[in-house]
Amino acid sequence: MTPVTHVREDPRLKAVEWRDLTHLTGWQKAYEVSLSAPWLGMSFVFFHTGWIAAGLVTAFFFFLAALRQAHGAQHYFIGIGRTAQDWLLAVLSVLMVSSLHALQATHMHHHRHALEPSDFEAATARLRWWQALVAGPWFIVVLHWNGYRIARPSKRRWIRGEGIAVLCWVTSVCLWGPAAARWFVGAMIAGECLTGFFAVWTVHHDCDPDLQLARTQRGIWKNLVSYEMFYHVEHHLFPAVPTPRLPELAARLDRAMPHLSREQVF
């Protein structure tokens, strides 16, 4: 038998059924679209009433939930139409103070060239954990620059619009916004600066670009608090499967290729 040189060539992978997992129910679509709204509301309430610690916690969970929404919309698998998902990305761009269409461009490039030298998104995965943390602010800037550079003209229009909207939002908040809005924007900026560690390093560090593209996560509670965003090897192998269906895909992949779940996020 010829040895497998890349996980995508493994015949066991081809036997994993996934096409029935590409669709969401109406309830699942509604859940994905509204996922971050409660955390957004709670964070503003807490910041407004002076409960700063609670505001920071709820802002963190808003960022995590919005990251899941943005990721789904970047892949267009939320199931509400491409235009609606583009607008969802635009709205979340303002709230998360980053151009999610720029990050969409680098993320799609990441899927095509996972862990290769040209993979901009995986840059922090090649570093030590503390280096990934320190490099966070520079990483997010470089990611936006490369996203705009490699984006198609139609996407560049979205990126420019998001950039202007974010600039206007942040400027108005800093000059005239209430304290609650300033706390929220500050929390989002901090979240963006930590993305290189939490969204990249955690799921890709010490992975083999040929045989182990990414890490994964098992355990009900671990995946509950991480909004199922750490089923990452499953996502790379079957990127058309929406996030809510990844637990089902993981169970099938465990039966076919159990070794892929050995490298876990935490």
Burial of 161 (0-12, 13-18, 19+ CB in 10 A): middle
In percent, the amount of the chain with pLDDT more than 70 equals: 99
Domain boundaries, the chain: 23-205, 210-266
Q: Band of the pLDDT at 6, cuts 50, 70, 90? A: confident
Q: Band of the pLDDT at 5, cuts 50, 70, 90? A: confident
Q: Using one digit for the tens of pLDDT, what is the confidence trace for 140-166?
A: 999 999 999 999 999 999 999 999 999
CA distance 113 to 146: 14
User: How many Å separate Cα 34 from the centre of its chain?
Assistant: 16
pLDDT in the model for residue 4: 73
pLDDT higher than threshold 80 for residue 47: yes
Q: Using one digit for the tens of pLDDT, what is the confidence trace for 169-197?
A: 999 999 999 999 999 999 999 999 999 99
Q: Which phi and psi angles does 116 have, rounded to 5°?
A: -80, 165
Looking up tokens 């706390």 gives: 183
User: How many Å separate Cα 82 from the centre of its chain?
Assistant: 18
In percent, the amount of the chain with pLDDT more than 90 equals: 97
Taking alpha carbons only, the member of 115, 113, 31, 116 closest to residue 72 is 31
Q: Using one digit for the tens of pLDDT, what is the confidence trace for 94-143?
A: 999 999 999 999 999 999 999 999 999 999 999 999 999 999 999 999 99
Looking up tokens 């840059």 gives: 123
pLDDT higher than threshold 80 for residue 3: no
Most distant CA pair in the chain: distance in Å? 68
Count of Cβ atoms closer than 10 Å to residue 181 Cβ: 18
For residues 243 and 81, is the Cβ–Cβ distance under 8 A? no
Letter string b/e over residues 66-100, b meaning 16 or more CB atoms within 10 A of that residue's CB: bbbbbbbbbbbbbbbeeeebbebbbebbbbbbbbb
Mean pLDDT of 4-30: 93
Mean pLDDT of 28-52: 98
CA distance 147 to 132: 19
Looking up tokens 């060539």 gives: 9
The identity of residue 65, as a single letter, is A
Q: Band of the pLDDT at 205, cuts 50, 70, 90? A: very high
Rounded (10°) CA dihedral 257, 123, 39, 23: -40
Q: What is the mean pLDDT of the chain?
A: 96
pLDDT in the model for residue 2: 56
